[in-house]
Amino acid sequence: MTDLVLELSDVRYKWPGRGAFSLAVPRLCVSQGETVLLLGESGSGKSTLLSLICGTVLPDQGDLHVAGCSLKGLSGAARDRFRAEQIGVIFQQFNLLPFGTVSDNILLPLRFAPRRRKRAGNAGAAAEKLCSDLGLPPGLGRTKANTLSVGQQQRVAVARALIGQPPLIIADEPTSALDANSQAAFMDLLFQQVAHYGTSLLMVSHDARLGDRFDRVVHMDEIAQVERAAA
């Protein structure tokens, strides 16, 4: 049986004070090494689902496992540590520390994740190898992030997510602001590195044209139910 890196079962969550907005996910799984594209329009519950998977919020009911660990019962601080250890996140706007160096940004997750830092081995060397693999020029590690091109920021964001080999990468609409050529280049780099490290990838998007690249495409309206209070 294939190991599951992500498993949601009968998960339900209701945002407090948000007009009774609620999300129910009967079942969602991602296997080890699998790439999954999660498609959904604005308001379909994608952001809430990512918040649940990353442990930012806890489900009101149901089971949610990441890398074999149940997030139920973990304190907020414990979930923060677990997320740093087990999940690499690529944000829509990359969210680099603007006045930190490239190395500072790539190594940031390891500051909060001792087991991930141990998996990385020589962290500095691991960061340099990722930079090289992602086509960043030698010596860029000492460069401030706010001086990078958009393409370089993309690569640094991927390196930060991958360092220390977390079993799950979450990519939240990372191509939404890119032109077609930049989007293709970004996706090529991301898939090359995910395949190299055997990492699972769950990417959220509204762009169905990306689907051919993934092992599986999942539509939010097929796996989740959203309810809102009547106006």
Question: Which residue type is seen at 74?
Answer: L
Long-range contacts of 16-23 (CB under 8 A, 24+ apart): 19/228, 19/229, 20/227, 20/228, 20/229, 21/48, 21/226, 21/227, 21/228, 21/229, 22/226, 22/227, 22/228, 23/48, 23/49, 23/52, 23/224, 23/225, 23/226
What pLDDT shows up at residue 1? 39
What pLDDT shows up at residue 85? 95
Distance between start and end Cα atoms, the chain? 46
CATH number, domain of 132, equals 3.40.50.300
pTM score, whole prediction:
0.91
Q: Helices (H), strands (E): how many in the chain?
A: 8, 10
- Can you give the residue range of the structural domain that contains 173? 4-227
Q: How many domains is the chain partitioned into structurally?
A: 1
Give CA separation, 209 vs 35, 54, 220, in Å. 15, 26, 16
Euclidean distance between CA atoms 54 and 172, whole angstroms: 12
CA 127 and chain centroid, separation: 18
Euclidean distance between CA atoms 1 and 121, whole angstroms: 30
Consecutive 10-residue averages of pLDDT for the chain (231 residues): 86 82 94 95 89 94 94 90 94 91 96 93 93 89 93 91 95 82 85 91 92 96 86 54
Q: Which residues contact 71 (CB under 8 A, 6 or more apart)?
A: 55, 58, 64, 65, 79, 82
